Structure 1
Amino acid sequence: MDDFTKRRIEKIMRHYMESAAEEQLRNRRSIGYSLEGDEVMLIEQRPSKDGAGWIELPVAQFRLDAGGWNVYGMDSGGRWRPVPEIPPSDDFQA
């Protein structure tokens, strides 16, 4: 992924996280992301059950493949699977 695309994705993700900030405060949770190679991982951060720290839970993965951006969700076995209801798109924001 080129630098321009990375900066654009970071801007989109920051805007998404800011728009969800009010809800996050009510639920004592946070949304974050990681960007690695041609993949963007959406992560939910919650307080641990014992209250000693935070845990991170992967929510979705966005992959830039030959057909565009594809959305993946985790199945019950911990494997990433394409989300068939969301078609690939050349535009990450879509």
Structure 2
Amino acid sequence: MGNQEMVDLLIVMFCLFQLGDKFLFFDKGGSYSMLDVFTLRRIESLMNGYVHEKVPAQLRTMVKLTYEMKGNELILTEERPGLQRYQWDRMPIARFYWEGDQWQVFASDDCSSWNPVEVIVPCSDFEDVLEQVERDESGVFWRERD
């Protein structure tokens, strides 16, 4: 096995480094996270269920929700059919960022910049902040977009 193959193999595998009482996980894309594997899988399962239930089956050809996790960040996105056939236009909805043992929530503005959502207090429970995004009491997530 050559050096590059060995490096590729190591990147594909989860590499674990202990930093005090924290663990640093690298995924196959080279991103890292301070979240443990159990928590990452729990969030992934929660999000898979959420995006499946949020959009009724009969509407999934017109709109879908997707998410992407990279390192300490999860971005929830809405997709709709684009002008070109078989292409979907993506509109970011919410950004969840894990920092200092808490999830912080950001909303996308009309210029695709991320702004902190002041009414959602950072907390350690991802499900709690996702529920607050779903309720959208401030009207910054589920709004009509141009």
TM-score range, shorter chain: 0.7 to 0.9
Quick one: which amino acid aligns to residue 13 of structure 1?
Answer: M
Q: Which residue of 2 aligns with 1:91?
A: 125
Out of 44, 65, 70, which is 1:10 matched to? 44
Query: How many angstroms does 1:51 deviate by?
Result: 4.0
Out of 61, 71, 90, which is 1:56 matched to? 90
TM-score (norm 2): 0.58
TM-score (norm 1): 0.87
Q: Which residue of 2 aligns with 1:30?
A: 64
Deviation larger for 77-86 or 44-53: 44-53
CA contact (8 A) 2:43 2:126 kept: yes
Q: Which runs of 5+ in 1 are unaligned?
A: none
CA contact (8 A) 1:69 1:91 kept: yes
1:5/1:67 Cα in 2 relative to 1: closer, same or farther (>3 Å)?
Answer: closer
Deviation larger for 66-75 or 45-54: 45-54
Provide the secondary structure at the position in 1 that maps to 2:56: helix
Q: Percent identity?
A: 35
Deviation larger for 68-77 or 46-55: 46-55
Quick one: which amino acid aligns to residue 115 of structure 2?
Answer: R
Query: Is 1:69 paired with 2:109?
Result: no
Q: Which residue of 1 aligns with 2:74?
A: 40
Q: Which runs of 5+ in 2 are unaligned?
A: 1-34, 129-146
CA contact (8 A) 1:24 1:30 kept: no
Q: Which structure has the higher relative contact order (CA within 8 Å, separation 6+)? A: 1
CA deviation map 1:9-68 (0-9, x unaligned): 101101111211317717710000000000000011110134451111111100001150
- Provide the C-alpha distance between the structure 1 equivalents of 2:60 and 2:106, rounded to a whole number of angstroms: 27
Q: Which residue of 2 aligns with 1:79?
A: 113
